[in-house]
């Protein structure tokens, strides 16, 4: 099993609202990039979302906030959201558009931790808890480490601004390394899969000593199970350690040298590039006016940064039924055909 830490997939089809769901399957956890119409995701998938990254607050990228909130409210303790300039206030305004006089009674209180980063490198954060009717609390500065917006033992999320008429964040979701586990060996030891596999991967990647204890917990039809083993005892589950997969999410920008340079700095050699391909090349003037890419420009970006796999999305509804033409223009400019991540055909 050389499984990746997470599997990325578009929330909607290429003509639908743009957004990415990165599923950390062994952990019952996920990340969302953008908050598009989320009707395609069942509640069990939304309940896994721990972190959300929003490129900018145009409606097609932010209207899913309401559905996410609706599903997690009363059932989940914490969600962290990160966005661009003004994002803390935008979330605050969303929350304050509702009446919350009974929400204090929910057994599980929800905290939304909200962060914003700005092109000048400054940032802000605040939190909003259902117990207080989502009053703004814990106001403070937020300092990203360079372009690293979120950092954990086994993966990180980086972001850089591109120009879309407004500042808009492009994201890189990066596995720090890929740890191959023998799934059959997990079963042979009598264990099931669970969040402990992440702890094991983190222990291996951080060079934990063999005698370090690790809690092995999993759930199956028979119920909850728990055991404790040392990292040394569990190390035979690790088949190999290799370079991690990097995933790029690029949407809502104009084709300018400055934008392409920013993307190259963020995504050089990226393994999978999700990239907006809004208009056909014939409509390039319209694309420029709307601060969007054409399919050929998307393909040119993929070629410039050396993307290994490309998934075009955010097609304009004006091309309904003509998705294959958009894909053909991306491929022609990229110089390759779309791979297994292609969901646009
Ligand atoms: Zn958009
Ligand atoms: Zn936009």
* Position 340 pLDDT exceeds 80: no
| For the CA of 316, the nearest ligand | 1
pLDDT: is 177 or 130 the higher one? 130
Residue 28 lies inside a defined structural domain of this protein: yes
Residue 32: per-residue pLDDT? 98
64 and 42 in one domain? yes
Q: 296: exposed, middle or buried (C-beta count within 10 Å: 0-12, 13-18, 19+)?
A: buried
- Phi, psi (rounded to 5 degrees) for 285: -65, -40
307 and 196 in one domain? no
| For the CA of 315, the nearest ligand | 1
Residue 343: per-residue pLDDT? 45
Residue 340 lies inside a defined structural domain of this protein: no
Rounded to the nearest angstrom, the distance between the alpha carbon of 320 and the centre of ligand 1 is: 16
Rounded to the nearest angstrom, the distance between the alpha carbon of 62 and the centre of ligand 1 is: 10
Rounded to the nearest angstrom, the distance between the alpha carbon of 48 and the centre of ligand 1 is: 25
Confidence class for position 204, pLDDT limits 50, 70, 90: confident
121 and 30 in one domain? yes
The domain in which residue 118 lies consists of 7-146
Residue 247 lies inside a defined structural domain of this protein: no
| For the CA of 290, the nearest ligand | 2
Rounded to the nearest angstrom, the distance between the alpha carbon of 338 and the centre of ligand 1 is: 22
Residue 3: per-residue pLDDT? 65
How do residues 288-301 score in pLDDT, each as one tens digit? 999 999 999 999 99
Instruction: Tell which of 242, 271, 297 closes a domain.
Output: 242
Residue 152 lies inside a defined structural domain of this protein: no
| For the CA of 60, the nearest ligand | 1
Rounded to the nearest angstrom, the distance between the alpha carbon of 286 and the centre of ligand 1 is: 15
Residue 28: per-residue pLDDT? 86
268 and 237 in one domain? no
Residue 71 lies inside a defined structural domain of this protein: yes
How do residues 258-286 score in pLDDT, each as one tens digit? 999 999 999 999 999 999 999 999 999 99
Residue 199 lies inside a defined structural domain of this protein: yes
Q: How far apart are CA 214 and CA 227, in angstroms?
A: 9
How do residues 94-104 score in pLDDT, each as one tens digit? 999 999 988 87
Instruction: Tell which of 127, 146, 165 closes a domain.
Output: 146
For the chain, how many structural domains are there in total? Answer: 3
* Position 114 pLDDT exceeds 70: yes
Rounded to the nearest angstrom, the distance between the alpha carbon of 292 and the centre of ligand 2 is: 8
């Amino acid at each position: 099993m050389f499984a990746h830490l997470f599997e990325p997939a578009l929330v909607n089809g290429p003509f639908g609202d743009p957004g990415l769901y990165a599923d950390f399957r062994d952990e019952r956890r996920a990340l969302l990039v953008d908050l598009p119409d989320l009707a395609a995701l069942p509640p069990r998938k939304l309940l896994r979302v721990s972190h959300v990254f929003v490129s900018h607050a145009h409606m097609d990228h932010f209207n899913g906030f309401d559905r996410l909130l609706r599903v997690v409210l009363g059932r989940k303790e914490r969600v962290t959201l990160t966005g661009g300039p003004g994002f803390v206030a935008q979330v605050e305004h969303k929350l304050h558009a509702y009446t919350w006089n009974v929400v204090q009674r929910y057994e599980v209180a929800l905290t939304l931790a909200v962060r914003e980063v700005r092109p000048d490198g400054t940032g802000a954060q605040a939190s909003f808890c259902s117990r207080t009717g989502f009053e703004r609390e814990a106001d403070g500065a937020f300092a990203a480490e360079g372009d690293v917006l979120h950092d954990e033992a086994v993966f990180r999320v980086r972001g850089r601004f591109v120009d879309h008429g407004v500042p808009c964040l492009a994201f890189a979701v990066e596995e720090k390394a890929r740890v191959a586990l023998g799934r059959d060996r997990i079963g042979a030891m009598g264990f099931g899969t669970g969040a402990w596999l992440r702890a094991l991967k983190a222990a291996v990647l951080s060079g934990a000593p063999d005698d370090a204890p690790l809690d092995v917990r999993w759930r199956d039809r028979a119920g909850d199970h728990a055991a404790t083993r040392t990292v040394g005892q569990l190390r035979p589950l690790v088949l190999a350690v290799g370079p991690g997969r990097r995933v790029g999410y690029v949407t809502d920008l104009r084709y300018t040298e400055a934008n392409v340079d920013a993307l190259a700095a963020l995504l050089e050699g990226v393994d999978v590039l999700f990239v907006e391909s809004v208009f056909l090349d014939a409509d390039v003037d319209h694309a420029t006016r709307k601060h969007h890419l054409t399919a050929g420009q998307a393909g040119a970006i993929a070629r410039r940064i050396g993307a290994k796999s490309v998934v075009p999305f955010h097609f304009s509804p004006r091309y309904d039924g003509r998705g294959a033409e958009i894909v053909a223009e991306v491929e022609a400019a990229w110089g390759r055909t779309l791979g297994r991540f292609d969901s646009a055909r």
